[in-house]
């Protein structure tokens, strides 16, 4: 396989995974946009359990995706091909751990809510949306960097 083919395959897989995340993010977004039941209702507990499940699923998938991006050479390829964007590339790499940490905080927030104890986080839904926004922007930035490399290749006939 040539270097160009390797890069193409690598980019395609990352892009495919990004597409899958779009659906997952939209599903969670839709869930938290619904009003949440009162904490004292039985549905309140069910709501928290369902949110936890969605977040655990997201976290699980993100761990695999981030690992693949970090170990599969995505960032190295981007850094070599777009040296002017090295600072941004490093920031994106650093964001992986931060985003995972934020998702875990949301998971524990959802579990806490399911305890039905007073003092539950009244802003849990907004916090979920904020993390989803950050994740979406993160993936878009990665996609744009891959596109920059590809456009450059088209220009040079590579
Ligand atoms: Fe990504």
Reported as a single tens digit per residue, the pLDDT across 65-78 is 999 999 988 999 99
- Ligand 1 centroid–CA 115 distance in Å is 33
**Other Cβ atoms within 10 Å of 55 Cβ, number:** 22
- Ligand 1 centroid–CA 142 distance in Å is 6
Exposed / middle / buried, residue 81 (Cβ in 10 Å: 0-12, 13-18, 19+): middle
Whole-number Å distance between alpha carbons of 116 and 44: 8
| Widest pairwise Cα distance in the chain | 64
Taking the complete model, does pTM exceed 0.75, yes or no?
Answer: yes
**76-111 residue pLDDT tens:** 999 999 999 999 999 999 999 999 999 999 999 998
- Ligand 1 centroid–CA 49 distance in Å is 27
Average pLDDT, the chain: 90
Angle made by CA atoms 73, 79, 80, in degrees to the nearest 5: 90
- Ligand 1 centroid–CA 145 distance in Å is 11
The stretch 136-151 carries a mean pLDDT of: 95
- Ligand 1 centroid–CA 44 distance in Å is 33
Give the domains, in start order, of the chain with CATH numbers: 3-156 (1.20.120)
């Amino acid at each position: 396989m040539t270097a160009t083919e390797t890069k193409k395959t690598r980019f395609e897989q990352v892009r495919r995974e990004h597409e899958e995340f779009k659906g997952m993010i939209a599903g969670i977004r839709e869930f938290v946009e619904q009003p949440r039941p009162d904490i004292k209702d039985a549905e309140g507990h069910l709501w928290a359990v369902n949110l936890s499940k969605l977040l655990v699923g997201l976290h699980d998938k993100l761990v695999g995706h981030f690992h693949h991006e970090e170990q599969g050479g995505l960032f190295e390829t981007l850094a070599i091909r777009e040296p002017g964007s090295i600072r941004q590339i490093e920031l994106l790499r650093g964001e992986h751990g931060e985003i995972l940490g934020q998702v875990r905080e949301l998971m524990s927030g959802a579990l806490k809510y399911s305890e039905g104890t007073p003092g539950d986080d009244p802003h849990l839904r907004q916090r979920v949306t904020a993390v989803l926004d950050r994740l979406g922007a993160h993936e878009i930035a990665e996609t744009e960097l891959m596109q920059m490399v590809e456009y450059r290749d088209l220009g040079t006939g590579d």
